[in-house]
Amino acid sequence: MTPQERVQHLLVDSGVSKIVYALVMPETEATIDDVLDGNWDGLGRNGYHHRFREAWTQKQDAAHEAFFSRWLEWVQPIVALDRNSFPYCYPTAGASEGLREAIHAYGARSRQEGFEPTIHLFEGEYEGFAAYARAASIPVVQHRRSHWFASLDKLRATDQFYVSQPAAIDGMVWQDFDAFATEMYRQQPTAELMLDLSYVGCVPRSFHVDANHPNIAAVFLSLSKPAGVYYHRIGGMFSKKEYLGLFGNKWFKNISSLAIGTAFMERYGVHELPRKYAPIQQRVIDTISTNLHLTLRPADIFLLGVSPLMRSPTELERFLLRGPSDEPVVRVCLTAKMAHEIDPKLNPTVFPRYYEQIP
């Protein structure tokens, strides 16, 4: 058995993973059942089907507007976003469709306007940022987040910087986000800050995200992790400029998914379920810390456990490393074990043995 296989077996046997998986909660499934059965709006199954009928009336064209209105109300305790500053909104398949379109549109604009595109990231960020940039043949520059001030020296007027908040890097709310956005605007006011809010709705404690910094060009959102609806692909994008590649989403959208997302946010507050399941997060962390000889603590994102890197890291800790090279953290996803704690009939140790091979 290779060292990597040995580490994978340790994680599998403990019911945790390196990859972040969505947690399907009882509240998730109850909401889906009520939407599909027509209980959510009281119109019955026929009411559900009525959403899809008579397309020639164009009644479905505005079906996403209720979703976006509800999302803005749902995140109001956390996110400040002036809707008038973001006149365009697009329903998307999770956050990924909007991110991919924004990156490809940026590449197309660079060819039209004759500048060299560059996308900036912090080390350890969401892998999709770099993957979509590579697919669009756009160079990526990675920086250490602890050196964020110095990283702005490398930023040009036509560059884009992608940041997640709360951060995919370590599962924590990044405390320097406002200072970073402010200084970025001061140094390069035309460089675009692209803000990914996919983990808003995953944090038990109160915090604040200001999406109104003048250099924030687009905001991406998703209910995949907050609501446990990853495969229903519920997301969206607010932007200050039009994205023609997403214009067709006015018609090409999943009305069932938008209804599920809207119903979920009407039922549960943005902090409600993370606070409910935080004790399970802690209980799972206590168990796996003992089993795997790790010193974990709860991340802000309730699906994750994190710990600083020890001076002499074990093979397992090196495998789970995340973040910049000068301040790496051990990050582990607790979803399978948490799902088992919620419903003991579920087996938390059944993973494909190749599950960590995904690039």
pLDDT digits (tens, 9 = 90+) for 235-247: 999 999 999 999 9
Where does a domain end: 267, 302, 334? 267
DSSP 292: H
This prediction's pTM: 0.93
Is a pLDDT exceeding 80 seen at residue 2? no
* pLDDT for the residue numbered 353: 52
Query: Which of 216, 243, 267 delimits the end of a domain?
Result: 267
pLDDT tens-digit readout, 197-231: 999 999 999 999 999 999 999 999 999 999 999 99
**258 and 279 share a domain?**
no
Question: Do 302 and 255 belong together in one domain?
Answer: no
Take residue 193 and report the two structure tokens written for it.
């800050």
Give yes or no: residues 87 and 144 share one domain.
yes
For residue 37, being part of any structural domain is answered with no
Which of 229, 248, 267 corresponds to the end of one domain?
Answer: 267
Same domain? 292 vs 332: yes
Quick one: average pLDDT of 322-343?
87
User: What is the residue range of 277's domain?
Assistant: 3-26+271-357
> Can you read off the two tokens belonging to residue 213?
């910094």
Could you tell me if 275 and 206 lie in one domain? Answer: no
Residue 281's contacts (CB-CB under 8 Å, 6 or more residues apart) are 298, 302, 303, 305, 334, 338
Q: What is the pLDDT of residue 356?
A: 44
In a domain, 38, yes or no: no
Residue 34 lies in a domain: no
Q: Do 159 and 229 belong to one domain?
A: yes
Contact assessment for residue 340 and residue 15, using Cβ atoms and an 8 Å cutoff? yes
**Residue-wise pLDDT tens digits, 8-43:** 778 888 889 888 999 999 999 999 999 998 888 777
Query: pLDDT per residue over 254-299, tens digit each?
Result: 999 999 999 999 999 999 999 999 999 999 999 999 998 889 999 9
Kindly state the greatest CA–CA separation across the chain.
66
- Tell me how long the chain is: 359
Domain-located, residue 36? no
